[in-house]
Amino acid sequence: MYGSYATAEQAVQEQKKFLYKVYAWMGMAVLLTAFAAYFTAQNESLQSLIFGNMFGWIVLVAAELGLVWFLSSRVFRLSFETGLALFTLYSVLNGITLSAIFLVYSLGTISSVFFVSSAMFFAMSAYGWITKADLSKWGNILFMALIGVIIASLVNFFLHSSVFQTIISFVGVLVFVGLTAYDTFRLKKLHAQMSDDSTLVRKLGVLGALSLYLDFINLFLMMLSLFGGRRGN
């Protein structure tokens, strides 16, 4: 009896340590993204290179999409060090892309929305970790909703409707809030399944950090679009 209790308690502690590492890697990536975005926004030569012509922008976005796809699909085949390095590279490239927000929103606005988004993210992530409910059924629903948000965003790229964009951003906030809870819940389940293999657990940590990083960044961007207010407004 006491042995079973000790084993269960040890498993809980291992899960907590795993989650702390995931948050640490995710936090590192967010900081790198913020630094890269701010540095690029302050460098006119880089801005001209990236935003001055369509080719530079397309190459950067294509590199990001290819990198995140490769890492998501191959993370368990790569070494932990390679996976973490690719994740780091992706966060920097994403920061360069996101530097455009400094041209649209004030630093005060970005900071305020960042902190609100952080509070929402950690609240939902905590819920996904501690809840006793089975969130597995959320997966397909949230995935379909995400596809809908992506398609609607592409359509509005041509329509330029501010009302439609507000609706997209509102739905997007709900989707990424839900995905934050679901991805954290899924991480907990996967950790329980892989806990006997420390190598797999470390690689899972990179995948988990990437998933939560994407949830947070997209939640932040949707919140910024919804409540930010552009310069001059």
Q: Give the three-class secondary structure for 195.
A: coil
Residue 172 and residue 218: Cα distance in Å, rounded?
8
Whether residue 232 lies inside any domain: the answer is no
How many other β-carbons are positioned within 10 Å of the β-carbon of residue 24?
12
Tokens representing 165 are 């964009």
pLDDT at 227: 87
| DSSP classification of residue 230 | -
pLDDT tens digit sequence for 89-132: 999 999 999 998 988 898 899 999 999 999 999 999 999 999 99
Q: Model-level pTM?
A: 0.92
CB 215 within 8 A of CB 180: yes
Q: Give the number of domains in the chain.
A: 1
pLDDT tens digit sequence for 147-180: 999 999 999 989 889 899 999 999 999 999 999 9
Whether residue 76 lies inside any domain: the answer is yes
Whether residue 136 lies inside any domain: the answer is yes
At 232, the pLDDT band (50, 70, 90 cuts) reads low
Residue 79 and residue 213: Cα distance in Å, rounded?
20
What's the chain's Rg over C-alpha atoms? 19
pLDDT at 5: 46
Q: Please name the residues in contact with 109: beta carbons below 8 A apart, sequence gap of 6 or more.
A: 224, 228, 229
Residue 121 and residue 92: Cα distance in Å, rounded?
21
**Domain with 49 in it:** 2-227
Residue 79 and residue 62: Cα distance in Å, rounded?
24
Residue 130 and residue 143: Cα distance in Å, rounded?
22
Whether residue 79 lies inside any domain: the answer is yes
Residues of the chain with pLDDT > 70, as a percent, come to 95
- Which whole-number Å values give the CA distances from 10 to 17, 143, 184, 230, in the listed order? 11, 34, 20, 50
pLDDT at 6: 46
pLDDT at 1 over 50: no
Average pLDDT score, the chain? 91
Whether residue 197 lies inside any domain: the answer is yes
Mean predicted confidence (pLDDT) in 71-85: 95
Whether residue 181 lies inside any domain: the answer is yes
pLDDT at 230: 63
